[in-house]
């Protein structure tokens, strides 16, 4: 018939039961939650990638800054710890919390700025300073010198070590001094100080005698035409060279040095003034 549509009518959807409606709604919620989870996961991945790129960029900038800062640093040794003098703050804190004799402070600062170098020279200077410390020391009431004096000088020893690490000879001298202090129990304070001063003088003389023996032994090994290689600076080595020169031997000295202190320059200056031909 005219006017009637030739298309078949849409079939009606079957009516869902309450249980089916509930199941459908739960399925839709689950699908929505899954979509949200995927979206959040992508967002987190993007954030991590952005953060990673930022960290890489920061590391590159830091590396460039370090390279610019260490233009003169040899790359072969770049992994080694660089010299940094961080003693100033440590010394200040130590002095604030300990009573250090002024003569020890002066000695420590000379160690720190390398005004005194060489194992023997440092050892003799330390013992000479401790003679002054002992002379100025007064035993507190109710205490004995042979026990209290060692406790009294202990912070001074620690202070010296902070200024510059002790040499082996200095460590041996400190052990010697402590042993002698412990043996003064039977003496009065005045007598104990006198005994300690004599022991220190005897020890210093022994150190000087040993240094002279080393110089004589070294002199016997040097002959005309030798080229002798030495590192940094040592009073015993310097004495050896000068003794050999005084005996008429002709030889050259090559001095190898290192930063930050460049101790070898002091040896170089001393030997050149003495008439040596040196290579630094």
pLDDT at 85: 59
Rounded Cα distance, 118 and 171, in Å? 14
pLDDT at 11: 59
Rounded Cα distance, 262 and 1, in Å? 118
| Alpha-carbon separation of residue 172 from 71, 124, 177, 192 (angstroms) | 42, 12, 9, 21
Written as six digits, the tokens of 139 are 């035993």
- How would you class 18 by CB atoms within 10 Å of its CB: exposed for 0-12, middle for 13-18, buried for 19 or more? exposed
CA 117 remoteness from chain centre: 18
Task: Report the chain (280 residues): mean pLDDT per 10 consecutive residues.
Answer: 52 67 76 73 67 63 57 61 66 90 95 85 94 96 93 96 92 96 94 97 89 90 95 90 94 91 89 92
pLDDT at 25: 78
pLDDT at 185: 92
| Alpha-carbon separation of residue 58 from 53, 64, 78, 213 (angstroms) | 9, 10, 20, 60
Within 13 Å of residue 109, how many CA atoms lie on the same side as its CB? 10
Contacts of 104 (CB under 8 A, 6+ apart): 129, 133, 156, 159, 160
Rounded Cα distance, 209 and 190, in Å? 29
- Largest CA-CA distance found in the chain, in angstroms, rounded: 145
Q: Are 104 and 156 in contact (CB under 8 A)?
A: yes
CB count, 10 Å around CB of 214? Answer: 17
Q: Are 240 and 218 in contact (CB under 8 A)?
A: yes
């Amino acid at each position: 018939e005219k006017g009637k549509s030739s298309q078949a009518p849409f079939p009606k959807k079957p009516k869902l039961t309450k249980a089916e409606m509930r199941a459908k709604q739960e399925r839709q919620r689950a699908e929505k939650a899954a979509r949200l989870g995927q979206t959040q996961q992508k967002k987190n991945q993007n954030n991590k990638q952005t953060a990673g790129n930022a960290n890489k960029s920061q590391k590159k900038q830091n590396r460039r800054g370090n390279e610019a800062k260490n233009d003169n640093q040899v790359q072969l040794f770049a992994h080694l710890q660089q010299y940094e003098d961080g003693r100033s703050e440590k010394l200040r804190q130590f002095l604030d919390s300990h009573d250090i004799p002024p003569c020890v402070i002066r000695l420590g600062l000379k160690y720190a700025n390398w005004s005194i170098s060489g194992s023997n020279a440092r050892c003799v200077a330390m013992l000479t300073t401790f003679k002054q410390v002992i002379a100025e020391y007064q035993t507190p009431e109710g205490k004995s010198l042979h026990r209290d004096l060692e406790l009294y000088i202990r912070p001074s020893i620690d202070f010296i070590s902070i200024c510059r690490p002790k040499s082996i000879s200095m460590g041996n001298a400190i052990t010697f001094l402590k042993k002698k202090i412990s043996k003064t129990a039977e003496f009065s304070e005045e007598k104990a100080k006198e005994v300690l001063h004599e022991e220190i003088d005897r020890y210093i003389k022994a150190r000087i005698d040993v240094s002279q023996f080393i110089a004589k032994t070294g002199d016997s090994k040097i002959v005309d035409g030798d080229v002798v290689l030495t590192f940094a600076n040592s009073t015993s080595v310097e004495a050896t060279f000068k003794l050999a020169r005084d005996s008429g031997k002709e030889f050259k000295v090559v001095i190898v040095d290192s930063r930050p202190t460049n101790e070898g320059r002091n040896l170089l200056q001393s030997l050149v003034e003495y008439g040596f031909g040196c290579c630094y």
